[in-house]
Amino acid sequence: AKKAGKNNHRWFDPAMERDLRDRHALERALRSGIAAGDFVPYYQQQIDIATGRITGFEMLARWQSERYGHIGPEDFIPLAEEIGVIGDLSERLIRQALHDAREWDPALTLAVNISPLQLRDPWFAQRLLKLLIESNFPPHRLELEVTETCLHENLAQVRSLLVSLRNQGITISLDDFGSGYSSLSQLQSLPFDRLKIDRAFVSPMTGCAESATIVRAISSLGEGLGLPVTAEGVESAEIAAELRELGNLQAQGYLYGRPESAEQTRARLAALGLI
């Protein structure tokens, strides 16, 4: 083979060419994986920190692919958003999750993450309510975790969407509060029922005075606004003990359990008499 010397002009260098090919292969794999049902819901417990009881689960998407199974949602969700398939992917996962959660004790809630792009889709509410009806799942057991926004342009549209979902009994949580786009101004302009403190503040709180102060501040903000608060990223008994002193929070994290398959979740609930 001829060597690629200095005078051998290429539009792309080989690494770039390979990246592009890989990306297209990944896109195709994502699309066909959705069609094939390779994306499945996993569930992570949410705990009432005062009683230690499970209050519900957050659904977290997993890709069960021989080849791409190592890619987590932090990577495939943004890709699905970029290529315009997030709505389809999300609704398939939600349908499956409603089916799974219907077996659980009816006091247990199901939280699902909703991409900001989905909130811009004018038909989102209608399709979600249709899913609930088809699955015979009570809206008051469903919680939507939303983040963001650069919704300044269509804040009014998003507000009326969230209000109408809420009127159906669905709970709306502001996810990753304190980081990224989830800000104080959103608290004032959008109808939320719950705040989730980002794990970037919770996980380090026992070794870091600043993090602990931020967690305390958000917790009392929630109290003042009458909004229940969830702390995510609870990794140790020390963190749980500190949180317990702040009042009646909901907690979520590796201390209690990692995200688990529907089967594992079922077994866990069966052992607790919650199924």
Which residues make up the interface to Ca ion (CB under 5 A)? 113, 145, 175-176
Residue 77 interacts with ligand C2E (CB under 6 A)?
yes
Tokens linked to 137: 């799942």
CA torsion sign, 211 to 232 to 200 to 118? negative
Helices 124-135 and 155-167, packing angle to 10 deg: 20
Q: Which does 77 bind (CB under 5 to 8 A by kind): Ca ion, ligand C2E, none?
A: ligand C2E
In angstroms, give the least distance from the CB of 75 to Ca ion: 13
Residue 204 interacts with ligand C2E (CB under 6 A)?
no
What's the farthest any 2 CA atoms get from each other in the chain?
72
Residue 85 interacts with ligand C2E (CB under 6 A)?
no
Site string for ligand C2E, 130-169 (x = CB under 6 A): ---------------x------------------------
> In 10 A of CB 275, how many CB atoms?
14
Choose, by CB under 6 A, the member of 40, 65, 102, 254 that binds ligand C2E.
254
Among candidates 219, 266, 265, 259, which has minimal Cα distance to 239? 219
Question: Cα-flanking dihedrals φ and ψ of residue 137, to 5°?
Answer: -110, 125
CA distance linking residue 129 with residue 141, whole number of Å = 13
Residue 242 interacts with ligand C2E (CB under 6 A)?
no
Q: Which does 72 bind (CB under 5 to 8 A by kind): ligand C2E, Ca ion, none?
A: ligand C2E
Choose, by CB under 6 A, the member of 34, 48, 73, 216 that binds ligand C2E.
73
User: Residue 176 corresponds to which amino acid?
Assistant: D
Residue 197: partners with Cβ closer than 8 Å, 6 or more residues away: 177, 178, 215, 218, 219, 229, 230, 231, 232
Residue 233 interacts with ligand C2E (CB under 6 A)?
yes
Helix (H, G, I), strand (E, B) or coil at 194: strand
Closer residue to Ca ion, CB minimum distance, 66 or 74 = 74
Q: Which does 73 bind (CB under 5 to 8 A by kind): Ca ion, ligand C2E, none?
A: ligand C2E
DSSP 113: E
Does residue 252 contact residue 232 with C-beta atoms inside 8 Å? yes
Q: Which stretch binds ligand C2E (CB under 6 A): 66-74, 130-138, 221-229, 262-270?
A: 66-74
User: For residue 58, what are the β-bridge partners?
Assistant: 44, 111
DSSP 205: T
Closer residue to ligand C2E, CB minimum distance, 16 or 36 = 36
Residue 257 interacts with ligand C2E (CB under 6 A)?
no
Closer residue to ligand C2E, CB minimum distance, 60 or 246 = 60
Site string for ligand C2E, 93-132 (x = CB under 6 A): x-------------------xxx-----------------
Residue 92 interacts with ligand C2E (CB under 6 A)?
no
What are the E-state strand segments in 147-266?
A: 171-177, 194-197, 229-232, 250-252
Q: Cα 250–256–257 angle (5° rounding)?
A: 120
Which residues of the shown chain bind ligand C2E in the complex (CB under 6 A)? 44, 60-61, 72-74, 77, 90, 93, 113-115, 145, 175-176, 199, 203, 232-235, 252-254, 259
